[in-house]
Structure 1
Amino acid sequence: MEFLTSYDGTTLAFRTLGDGPPLLCLPGGPGRAAEYLGDLGGLSATRTLILPDTRGTGGSAMPADLATCRVDRLVADVEALRHHLGLDRVDLLGHSAGGSLAMLYAAAHADRLTSLTLVTPSFAAVGLPSDTGAEEVIAARAAEPWHAQAVAAYGHMKTAHTFAAAEPYRFAFEPLMYGRWDNAARAHAAADPVQRALPVSEHYYKDYTPDSEELRRRLDALPCPVLLLAGEMDLWPTAKSAADAASLFPDVTLAVQPAAGHYPWLDDPDVFTTTVEGFLSGVS
């Protein structure tokens, strides 16, 4: 684990994994330590993954002011890490809520990006829905033995007003977030409570209102290529929401991974790494 001091004195932790050109990977949750990303299905074989823990999570210190955990204010931490690493420009990857942060970073620091990879990203930061057609995706899995229990938990998750209120239902809901509810998926989901800092989760979007028009204007002018990778069976975002959001970017590759959920590197590592590495290797 390595450390840096961000703009307000908060100590941030990150680790590096693998070999090859650097790829800065922003975790989601929101509020989940980067440990859950693992080696991104073996992507570390061709890339040096830089895996920061969002402030208040994992090895990073909890800030004195929790309002600094809001997604738009976290942009400054990403920029502090880029500067600390001595990278003039970066290949940036964001997963889930980290995708929202990656889009905000791109809008603010377009000149610092070589490429942008969005893996099953949330579109909350840019004011777009992520769940278009979710009920159809859920219905398509009705034959699964866990389906009734997961759907009941999904109902509770949707009506919970806080992450803490949703927490008791999270594990029962989790099968809907994976393409395969096997032992690896169960272990991955079971680690969530240990890896998640609920105060960070609660403050990630608290009091945040996107300037959607300005963000869309900036993203529409983004000079770097974008990979938008969705899972065919994901709920947040659905493949349909991802397809709708692709119009945000002028140079975008939309990839929908078959039979994949919210964590596509677990559902089919080979397809995932081939897609991401194929995109990155084509970026000049």
Structure 2
Amino acid sequence: MPTFPAADGAVLHHDRLGGDGGNPLVVIAGGAALHPAYLGDLAGLSGVRPLVVPHLRGVGESPRPADPERGSYWRQAEDVEALREHLGLARLAVAGHSAGTRLALAWAARFPDRVDRLLLITPPAQVVPEAAADADALESRRGDPVGDAALAARERGPDLTDDDSFNAYFAAVAPLSYSAWTDREQAHAAGMRFDMVAMQAYFSVPPPEDLAQRCAAVPAPVLVVAGAEDAPVGPTPPRVVAGLFPRGELVVLDGCGHFPWVERPEAFRAAVDGFVAG
């Protein structure tokens, strides 16, 4: 597995998908602290541009930092910058999914002149304080047994005993993140694995209060992709995130939730291919 050196001397791992030709798109997984295997190749996006998928601190093959704050998304922006330098690129194209958009935003805010383009897929609530979740979106899932059971699990909250109990919680609430709960969605959800300690570290350093102002200084194009039926998020956070950037655009895909490349792969590709190709 390819590696790159971080600024603090840690050796971090990444996957590379697709051909060797052309500048890659760096893809940051969400969760937070999900093993990036759940991304696949984003419905074949590696055929448009090679994908470099880092294993974030404490996830997959990358080691857990001795200092938990080094695993925060704000500090891991330095790792994204180290990856850019390792790849030998003056500017970097970055995609982030869900909680991975927090890291993508942190990197862009800290290194605005190094951004080639940003693809932000289903950014979650509270990426910035103005991006609050829409409670009505969650309430819309009441009334069927699957939705009711998932909402009840969400209301109980996660069990922080160990990784297994932590992952059991996310398995119980998973139906809320999809527009349907067929074999396809169930198989995708079953393949996801969170690291509890890495997730806690991810949120250990809050972003600065001027994060929105820093995003406004990013000159690169930004595309935000949202799912119209993303119940845990709702329509407001993606709209707010797109509005942070002077060149931000929003595309909302019908018939999908938090994982549009899984539920609507053709529509997802139609929305992002031209942007990713540059």
Q: TM-score, normalised by structure 1?
A: 0.89
Mapped pair 1:39 → 2:41: yes
Work out whether residues 230 and 237 of structure 1, in 8 Å CA contact, stay in contact via their aligned partners in 2: no
Q: CA deviation at 1:166?
A: 5.2
In the TM superposition, 1:53-92 aligns within 5 A as 53-92=55-94
Kindly provide the amino acid, as one letter, of the partner of residue 5 in structure 1. Answer: P
Match of 2:149 in 1: 149
Aligned to 1:186: 186
Deviation at 1:163, TM superposition (A): 9.1
1:210-235 CA distance string (max 9 Å, x none): 323x2222211211111011111113
Deviation by residue 1:25-61 (Cα, 9 ceiling, x = unmatched): 0111111121111010111121101111101111111
Q: What residue number does 2:207 align with?
A: 210
25, 29, 35: which one aligns with 2:27: 25
1:100–1:124 Cα contact (<8 Å) kept:
no
- Deviation larger for 118-127 or 6-15: 118-127
Which residues of 2 match residues 212-251 of structure 1 at below 5 A?
A: 212=209, 214-251=210-247
Tell me, yes or no, if the aligned pair for 1:13 and 1:53 is still in contact at 8 Å. Answer: yes
Structure 1 residue 62, shift from structure 2 partner? 1.7
Between the aligned partners of 2:12 and 2:30, the Cα distance in structure 1 is: 16
Cα contact 1:127–1:210 (8 A) shared by 2: no
Question: Please, which runs of 5 or more residues in structure 2 have no aligned partner?
Answer: none
Contact 2:13 2:62 in 1 (8 A): yes
1:211 is matched by which residue type in structure 2? P
Matched, 1:258 2:277: no
C-alpha deviation, 1:267, in angstroms: 0.6
Asked if the contact 1:100–1:123 (Cα under 8 Å) also holds between the matched residues in 2, the reply is no
Rounded Cα–Cα distance in structure 2 between residues aligned with 1:10 and 1:62: 10
Counterpart CA distance in 1 for 2:218 and 2:196 is: 33
CA contact (8 A) 1:130 1:242 kept: no
- Quote the sequence identity (%): 36
Contact in 2 for aligned 1:120/1:236 (Cα 8 Å): no
- Give the TM-score normalised by structure 2: 0.91
Range with greater deviation from structure 2 (268-277 or 240-249): 240-249
1:2 is matched with: 2
Following the alignment from structure 2 to structure 1, what is the Cα–Cα distance between the partners of residues 63 and 45?
A: 28
Say if 2:173 is the partner of 1:173: yes
Q: What's the counterpart of residue 197 of structure 1?
A: 195
Q: Pairwise CA RMSD of aligned residues?
A: 2.0
Q: Say whether 1:280 aligns with 2:276.
A: yes
Q: Distance in 1 between matches of 2:156 and 2:25?
A: 36
Match of 2:96 among 61, 79, 94: 94
2:265 corresponds to which of 242, 265, 269: 269
Moved more, 11-20 or 223-232: 11-20
Are the aligned partners of 2:35 and 2:60 in contact in 1 as well (CA < 8 Å)? yes
CA contact (8 A) 2:115 2:218 kept: no
Amino acid at match of 1:65: D
* Kept in 1: contact 2:91–2:114 (CA 8 A): yes
Q: Please give the per-residue CA displacement for 1:211-268, whole angstroms capped at 9, x wherever unaligned.
A: 23x2222211211111011111113432222223332111111011111111111011
Matched, 1:107 2:109: yes
Contact 1:18 1:49 in 2 (8 A): yes
Change (3 A) 1:251 1:236: farther
Which whole-Å CA distance do the structure 2 matches of 1:163 and 1:231 have between them?
32
Work out the number of aligned pairs and report it. 274
CA distance in 1, matches of 2:175, 2:61: 28
